[in-house]
Amino acid sequence: MNFVNMESFKKYLVPGIIFQSVVIAGGYGTGREILEFFLNFGTIGGLVAMLSISGIIWAVVCSATFEFARVFKAYDYRTFFKKLLGKAWWIYEVCYLVLLLIVLAVIASSAGSILNEVLNLNYYFGVVLMMIGVGILVLKGTDAIEKFLSYWSILLYAVYITFLVILFTKFGSNIAENFSNGTMEAGWALGGFKYAFYNLGIIPAVLFSVKHIETRKEAIGAGVIAGVIGILPGVLLFIAMTGFYPDILTAGVPTVYILNAIGSPLLQIVFQITLFGTLIETGTGFIYAVTERVVSVYEEKDKKVSKWLVPGLTGVMLVLGVIIAQFGLIGLIAKGYGTITWGFFLFYVLPVVTIGIYKIRKVSVGERLSTKSVNI
């Protein structure tokens, strides 16, 4: 029974947990993204956009992606996009690598700042600790990554729920009032679409966690659950932020604004340390996708993978992220992020829900015809 439960956990829940873990630092860490894409459109408009647009789009795209990966045994993004786009597969990789540099720079900067502010440690202590954490997990491989991200996600939800309970205790009347008097400002739907596309590019980074899936039912089920698991922390944070609406709209870092309002030093420390762990989660997911892609090339050519390849590649990517953060190049690179987002939409989202589904159906029809001919 335990074996069955563990198998179901890996098939249905792990892909969603990995997806949420990679999204979390960039999508929910500061609360700024929740404010920009949702709360700016009113308490009702933002919540509806989050649940009826962003969450559903994630569920649909995850389902199509997981099923395509299962059918074509494509568990790294290079193999996936060669099957999906043919010779144009490299366009996705260009977009992904630029996004990777932005994300690694952001998490390096955030890691240093968090431990400096919470524990008064040197900025570079946090940066180095983050690098060590990511490096260890990448070298340990899929099993270690799945376990760490699963356990940390449970901790994350526990902290977020505690955070919400305390908020309801202190500011519950404000939350209820702001929802009862809530509005839906013009543009709420566009905000939901933008946020969904803003994060969709990282879904192929979690393909290594889809290897456990064996049937279409499992792939679609895992995709739907991934959409729910991915959006839920954002919903919890959004509800928390409504207690301070509209004043919080001008806050530079909404989560810090809320924690200061609660006035609990212990909760602030726990929240920030939990956030630090999500930085390790995000960095691990992004880098492991690249190392898996490189290793797959060696395996295709029956070449032996050097024991220094993965650690060397991991180290180079982490150092590049730290350098970009150090020299203030994040803003320069981020200026092109809108273009990258459209790149993901054009060369991943549209193809996977059109060409991808067509190819899946084509394989399914071929398998049915083959089965019939054998029976005859």
> Would you say residue 317 has pLDDT above 60?
yes
> Would you say residue 287 has pLDDT above 50?
yes
Angle at the Cα of 185 from the Cα atoms of 167 and 180, rounded to 5 degrees:
40
* Confidence band, pLDDT 50/70/90 cuts, at residue 134: very high
Q: What is the DSSP letter of 116?
A: H
Q: Tell me what pLDDT residue 222 has.
A: 95
Whether the Cβ atoms of residue 110 and residue 25 lie closer than 8 Å to each other: yes
> Would you say residue 332 has pLDDT above 80?
no
E strand map for the chain: none
* Confidence band, pLDDT 50/70/90 cuts, at residue 88: very high
In SS3 terms, 206-230 reads as: HHHHHCCCCCHHHHHHHHHHHHHHH
Is 368 within the bounds of a domain? no
Q: What is the DSSP letter of 88?
A: G
Is 283 within the bounds of a domain? yes
* Confidence band, pLDDT 50/70/90 cuts, at residue 310: confident
Q: State the Cα–Cα distance between residues 91 and 26, nearest whole angstrom.
A: 22
Q: State the Cα–Cα distance between residues 227 and 294, nearest whole angstrom.
A: 28
Is 234 within the bounds of a domain? yes
Please report, rounded to a whole number, the percentage of residues in the chain having pLDDT higher than 90.
Answer: 30
The parent domain of residue 32 ranges over 2-362
Taking residues 154-163, report their average pLDDT.
86
In tens, the pLDDT along 223-246 reads 999 999 989 888 988 998 999 988
In tens, the pLDDT along 37-69 reads 899 899 999 999 999 999 999 999 999 999 999
C-alpha R_g of the chain? 21
Amino acid identity of 338? Answer: G
Question: Comparing C-alpha atoms, which of 130, 97, 98 is closest to residue 278?
Answer: 130
Q: Tell me what pLDDT residue 55 has.
A: 92
In angstroms, what CA-CA distances link 96 with 90, 228, 340?
10, 24, 8
Taking residues 90-96, report their average pLDDT.
89
> Would you say residue 249 has pLDDT above 80?
yes
pTM for this entry: 0.86
In tens, the pLDDT along 167-195 reads 888 888 999 998 998 888 988 998 898 88
> Would you say residue 368 has pLDDT above 80?
no
**Matching residue, tokens 């989202």:** 349
* Confidence band, pLDDT 50/70/90 cuts, at residue 1: very low
Residues with Cβ within 8 Å of residue 96, at least 6 apart in sequence: 77, 201, 204, 205, 289
Chain Cα centroid distance, residue 123: 25
CATH code, domain with 200: 1.10.4160.10
Q: State the Cα–Cα distance between residues 319 and 307, nearest whole angstrom.
A: 19
Q: Of 60-69, 260-269, 327-336, which has the strongest mean pLDDT?
A: 60-69
Residues with Cβ within 8 Å of residue 209, at least 6 apart in sequence: 14, 15, 18, 142, 146
Q: Tell me what pLDDT residue 3 has.
A: 46
Write the DSSP assignment of 121-167 as a string of letters.
--HHHHHHHHHHHHHHHHHH-HHHHHHHHHHHHHHHHHHHHHHHHHH
Residues with Cβ within 8 Å of residue 206, at least 6 apart in sequence: 15, 18, 19, 22, 285, 289
In angstroms, what CA-CA distances link 115 with 111, 124, 130?
7, 9, 10
Is 374 within the bounds of a domain? no
Average predicted confidence (pLDDT) for the chain: 85
Number of structural domains the chain divides into: 1
Whether the Cβ atoms of residue 116 and residue 332 lie closer than 8 Å to each other: no
Is 373 within the bounds of a domain? no
Is 369 within the bounds of a domain? no
- Helix, strand, coil percent content, the chain, rounded in steps of 5: 85, 0, 15
What tokens does 36 get?
Answer: 């920009």
Q: State the Cα–Cα distance between residues 208 and 294, nearest whole angstrom.
A: 13
- In this structure, the number of other CB atoms found within 10 A of the CB of residue 143 comes to 8
Is 372 within the bounds of a domain? no
Is 367 within the bounds of a domain? no
